[in-house]
């Protein structure tokens, strides 16, 4: 199944660390096609195999079975220095004995380009990340954000077909991270190459990606656009991992789902009677009930005014917490007081139901 459109084609790749009984399966039969110029994100909690998959593409690990193709050419037997990919490492891995310019020129020198060409292209790469003024500094003399930019320039300078980014923003503080996210996206558009981005930060993944692969336990659970993953998660894990979500457990009872908190939801959502299920709803999709709507009662534990919305932390009849992000409070009406009782409505269209 070689897709000629794919920049990267990962075909039934498996990888274990260790041998015999103590072997840990890090990747199990993973397949993914990454398109040209796509901003593709591998998202998942630590230990899900996302970094291992990236390292397999880069060539730092050898796969146990399967194959990896870049631009239609099989690369899984090639050493890292023969693969048309470059990596931005988590802690940048800048060469401490070389200046910023020498770091960026490193890959160009390895390609045995002429001295003038090396200088010109290293200068261009530094210009692209607005670090030209720091060319003669040593990496130790730069801030985290500046080192990040140099690492990007160094990886982009040899014009790879694919740029691999291993949690590149995780070492930066929040404000800088937001700023670098925007710059990354712009850089990708400018450079016009495929980005494969590894992160455990779901918000970052949603902001940046064209498509996201959500990974858990060495498998890809869902592979789709950020919007689809947020709105139509395929697994309970995905729903729980991406954004805030309320997970209500219950049982299918005829044509309805009887929730443990006492409320019930109409429809069985394709599950057989008697099945245990989890009903998921985003805090912003649930709302305070108008009169006449199906609703259930909850007690207000905490009410936080967020400017654009009010976040209500509720307690259900069975003691579970429920988050509700209400945007219509504040148009004259005061938000519910702490300790007061409210009615919550769950619109059918906002519900996701998973087998428990």
153-161, 185-193, 258-266, 272-280 -> range binding another protein (CB under 8 A) = 153-161
State residue 285 phi and psi, 5-degree precision.
-95, -25
Q: Is 60 in the site for another protein (CB under 8 A)?
A: yes
The reply to whether 305 sits near another protein by the rule CB under 8 A is no
DSSP secondary structure letters along 51-81: HHHHHHHHTSS--SEEEEEETTEE-TTS-GG
- Binding-site size for another protein (CB under 8 A) equals 24
| 136 scored as a contact of another protein (CB under 8 A) | no
Q: Is 10 in the site for another protein (CB under 8 A)?
A: no
Judged by CB, which is closer to another protein: 97, or 290?
A: 97
Of 80 and 330, nearer to another protein (C-beta) is 80
Phi-psi region of 58 (alpha: psi -120 to 50; beta: other; left: phi over 0): alpha
Among 25, 137, 138, 251, binds another protein (CB under 8 A): 138
Q: What is the nearest approach in angstroms of another protein to the Cβ of residue 67? A: 20
Nearer to another protein, 35 or 80 (CB): 80
Residue 111: half-sphere exposure toward Cβ, Cα within 13 Å: 19
Give the helix/strand (H/E) hosting 41: strand 39-43
Residue ranges in 219-238 that form contacts with another protein under rule CB under 8 A: none
In whole angstroms, the minimum distance from the beta carbon of 71 to another protein comes to 17
Q: Determine, following the binding rule CB under 8 A, whether residue 243 of this chain makes contact with another protein.
A: no
Residues 72-91 that bind another protein (CB under 8 A): 79-81, 85-87, 89, 91
Query: CB under 8 Å to 49, separation ≥6 — which residues?
Result: 15, 26, 27, 30, 215, 217, 218, 219
- Contact (Cβ atoms closer than 8 angstroms) between residue 13 and residue 65: yes
Using CB under 8 A as the binding rule, the residues of this chain from 313 to 332 that contact another protein are: none
Closest distance between another protein and the C-beta of residue 49, in Å? 18
Contact between 154 and another protein by CB under 8 A: the answer reads yes
307 is a contact residue toward another protein (CB under 8 A): no
Separation between Cα atoms, residue 82 and residue 58, nearest integer Å: 10
Tokens linked to 185: 């996206």
- Contact (CB, 8 A) for 283 and 246: yes
Query: Is position 269 an interface residue for another protein (rule: CB under 8 A)?
Result: no
Which CA distances in Å does 289 have to 120, 121, 329, 343, 347?
A: 64, 61, 12, 5, 10
**What is the binding site for another protein (CB under 8 A)?**
58-60, 79-81, 85-87, 89, 91, 93-97, 106-107, 110-111, 138, 154-155, 158
């Amino acid at each position: 199944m070689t897709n000629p459109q794919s920049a990267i084609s990962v075909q039934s790749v498996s990888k274990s660390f260790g041998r015999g009984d103590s072997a840990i399966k890090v990747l199990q039969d993973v397949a993914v096609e990454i398109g040209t110029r796509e901003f593709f994100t591998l998202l998942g909690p630590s230990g899900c195999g996302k970094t291992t998959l990236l390292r397999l593409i880069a060539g730092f690990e050898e796969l146990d079975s399967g194959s990896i193709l870049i631009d239609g050419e099989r690369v899984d037997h090639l050493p890292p220095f023969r693969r048309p990919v470059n990596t931005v490492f988590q802690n940048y891995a800048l060469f401490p004995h070389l200046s910023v310019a020498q770091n960026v020129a490193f890959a160009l020198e390895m390609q045995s380009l002429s001295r003038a060409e090396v200088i010109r292209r290293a200068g261009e790469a530094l210009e692209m990340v607005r670090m030209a003024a720091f060319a003669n500094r040593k990496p130790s003399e730069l801030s985290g954000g500046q080192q990040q930019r140099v690492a990007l320039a160094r990886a982009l300078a040899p014009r790879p077909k694919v740029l691999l980014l291993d949690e590149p923003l995780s070492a930066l503080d929040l404000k800088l991270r937001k700023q670098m996210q925007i710059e990354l996206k712009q850089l990708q558009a400018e450079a016009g190459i495929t980005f494969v981005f590894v992160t455990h930060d779901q918000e970052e993944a949603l902001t940046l990606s064209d498509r996201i692969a959500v990974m858990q336990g060495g498998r890809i659970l869902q592979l789709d656009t950020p919007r689809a993953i947020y709105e139509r998660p395929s697994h309970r894990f995905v729903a729980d991992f991406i954004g805030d979500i309320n997970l209500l457990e219950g049982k299918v009872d005829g044509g309805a789902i009887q929730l443990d908190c006492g409320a019930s939801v109409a429809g069985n959502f394709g599950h057989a009677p008697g099945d245990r299920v989890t009903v998921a709803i985003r805090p912003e999709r649930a709302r305070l009930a108008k009169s006449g709507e199906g609703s259930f009662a909850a007690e207000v534990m905490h009410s936080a005014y967020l400017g654009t919305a009010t976040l209500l932390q509720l307690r259900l009849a069975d003691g579970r917490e429920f988050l509700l992000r209400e945007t219509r409070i504040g148009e004259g009406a005061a938000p519910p007081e702490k300790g007061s009782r409210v009615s919550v409505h769950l619109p059918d269209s906002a519900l996701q139901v998973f087998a428990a």
